[in-house]
Structure 1
Amino acid sequence: PALQIDNVPVVGFYGLHESDLDKVFQLPTTTFIGGNENSLSLREIIKRLENTYCQHIGLEFMFINDVEQCQWIRQKFEMPGVMKFTNEEKRTLLARLVRSMRFEDFLARKWSSEKRFGLEGCEVMIPALKTIIDKSSEMGIEYVIMGMPHRGRLNVLANVIRKELEQIFCQFDPKLEAADEGSGDVKYHLGMYHERINRATNKKITLSLMANPSHLEAVDPVVQGKTKAEQFYRGDTAGKKVMSILLHGDAAFAGQGVVYETFHLSDLPSYTTNGTIHVVVNNQIGFTTDPRMARSSPYPTDVARVVNAPIFHVNADDPEAVMYVCSVAAEWRNTFNKDVVVDLVCYRRRGHNEMDEPMFTQPLMYKQIHKQVPVLKKYADKLIADGTVTLQEFEEEIAKYDRICEEAYTRSKDNKILHIKHWLDSPWPGFFNVDGEPKSMSCPPTGISEDLLTHIGNVASSVPVKDFKIHPGLSRILRARLEMTKNRVVDWALAEYMAFGSFLKEGIHVRLSGQDVERGTFSHRHHVLHDQEVDKRTCVPMNHLWEQQAPYTVCNSSLSEYGVLGMSRG
């Protein structure tokens, strides 16, 4: 947009006049627009602020009630010349855009009448995700767990996780038969697990894309649960090795309650995954519904404000701006261990799926979209014009990827059986035999000795921490438990205690999560004892059964049902 320097009423709002535009002002210490300069003319101040805040990036962060975090963001975006890219970085970005766009073009050519929920209009999402992963890998992340709806899923599988293309292409073959254990779900719902070397950092990275049904945001808490579990078993309490990325559509992000529930788990001690990067594919339409009918808030991302997550809106037709924002988002997550939202403001070139006619309901919008020059052409023209690449190099990059797709297409015709082991979001070691078939499962005996049960019952009836004052009413409950143990009878609470305790003895971690689970709804469980005289002093007897035992985690959840259930599932 044109700079608004000559818009005198804006200047006048602050009691300044056109005659002040060339007056030099001392800059406050809270701004970074000066770089190494301490004072600038009003004209230059307005120009630099508009360059930062009125171009292709829109920032929402001033609602965050932490000065350090606000200043960190201001420095990242206000410093003059921050968005500088090397020619090598620009060429890599172009190559990634080529792969993103040509993959969709290839599917459209080969299977013109198939649904695939393509990414056309937001092809920049692929290099955006790769930038987040590259930057995170550079900062020490080893495992990235992702969840997303169906739009662009096949492209993410192919170009981010790098699943073999023939495995994807054979999914379009109507003759493909599922093996006995096959999922039967459609191709744009399936998940994937893959270990590979990150080319940007030359470090090993594991990527997992979780399966997701048509309930677009249902996967959000499941991803968080899987991430939490991976962090727990790796001892990664600060989230420096394992992280999650969630992709969303604009309409579902604003419309589905599980998004809000998942955000409210993000900073709870027993539920946090130390920051998630949310990427919203904001194509400004939900199937056939306009934004004005789809939400009451100004932006689809406003739900993120409840947890003080910064929101970076960015024009998806400016790939370099998108890459910069994604790089900052990865740094934010690593620095502050908090959620962050990247809002890719884009469009949907086709209908909701490839068989759908969007002109029925959005005629003017789609007349405009049909005139829109694809982002790959825009960016390639820019790089060719400034001499970063030649037209020949660009055409060779396209031909190279087209050849890769054609060769994979030929190989895909040999795949006649779908093995579910290729479409799982965890490796499940020891579960499959060499042919990819599940091993037959046997059920070992699960009984334990009476001595073991008695020991667990005795600990369940005690307070294993010295000088710990419990409530008198709780003393009666513990005495009743001891009496039951002596008489070789159990109630529900004691039976549960013994079952959990036997797992811990075998080295199996138990996590009990949900509303009021520490005490129990009917005041029956009491797995967490509270000192009546010292604030926040608690005791979990289950963690005092044996010196060598697995840890027991019991945690009250927020008053959520769907979200916490999803996290436990993950």
Structure 2
Amino acid sequence: YSERLIADGLIAADEIEEAKTAFQAHLTAEFDAGKDYRPNKADWLDGRWSGLETSEGEYQRGQSAASQELLKEVGAALTTLPENFQPHRTIARLLEQKREMIVTGEGIDWATAEALAFGTLLTEGYRVRLSGQDVTRGTFSQRHCGITDQVTEERYYPLAHIREGQRHFEVIDSMLSEYAVLGYEYGFSLAEPNGLTLWEAQFGDFANGAQIMIDQFICPGERKWLRMSGLVLLLPHGYEGQGPEHSSARIERFLQLSAEDNWIVANCTTPANYFHILRRQLHRSFRKPLILFTPKSLLRHKMCVSKLSEMAAGSSFHRVLWDDAEMGNSELKLVADDRINRVVSCSGKVYFDLLEARDSAGLNDIYLMRLEQFYPFPALSLTRELARFANADVVWCQEEPKNQGGWSFVEPNIEWVLGRIGAKAGRAIYAGRQASASPATGSAARHKLEQEALVEAALTL
């Protein structure tokens, strides 16, 4: 190519040699500098990252609560449309239901809690960016953060109109590429640490299309690249008879990759806990990726609701959650702690299947305990709670096959806890589906039988 440029009279031969010599000198200088280079995490904690620090030290609960006044202000904005705006009648009905939730402070569902988390952060000076396939509406028609006028086709975003001076709210319905979009959002989270950046998979199963980004960048980011990230992955997960491609976000893969406090892996069961874990991302002095398994049927489950007070002053995220019967949310009255015969630990949607079956059978000597955060494993919290039931059997119940889900990760951790408290039960008993090469059956009838069997096993072993 150099010879062609010289022959065409575009550049002199000596200029070519000068360029080659200069570039070779640059490479040599950089190579020599690399011999003495010693990486330092603090080197990049400047610019937009100034004020943040590494996550070493004691656990930070984070000030994730918001005032009742702010919650109601955001709630009012969520349910207010411009004058003469004509939404679809179904959306109008949903807005009225939200308005009732905010006014009464009762029955806050998943999507409303999410919107309240977004809205309160926006007023506190943090931008919010959500992307993924069909995220404006939500895969399960639950979010509706952009509302379309049925006459003019104008789209209105309530979260962008809470108050003057709020930060920017951005929601993007992405192209059908998990790999490209997640890669972009990871980069965005590196450039903007003072904002909540979220990527939502249409179903959690589809995250495997972005596995390269997860394995090469998100998982080892701090250890390999010396870069923190506060990116949130929302992965819909749950066994509901939808087949092997629409059931599992592969909890086991993320837990196998968990080490050295590299990220947070959670599976929340209440809107309030979801609210807090989202806000906690920005209300701590460091940033960590959050792998969050999110519900499908629970989006409209009568028991999967929270109170506004559970997001207000004095509240916070709980890594372990108590039995609803203990909290007064069930008609069943449990026996005293020392008379509990079995503790069934679980995570996610299966809790509500267990709760319904346990209460229907009147099994008041079985306590249901929820693990809301898998990693970092809440060993001290679980030690404190399980110590109440030192004479009880301990069961781990999950929907996923035995070689998948949380079992392989939690089993040795629960064993450690049981040994620490001197429990009668030395190890947890497994209740769930048998090991399988496929995440789930493709038969709805077989799914139902399997689900009933694992719930019965957990309660009647």
TM bucket normalised to smaller? 0.3 to 0.5
Structure having the higher Rg: 1
Superposition TM-score, scaled by structure 2 size: 0.38
Superposition TM-score, scaled by structure 1 size: 0.32
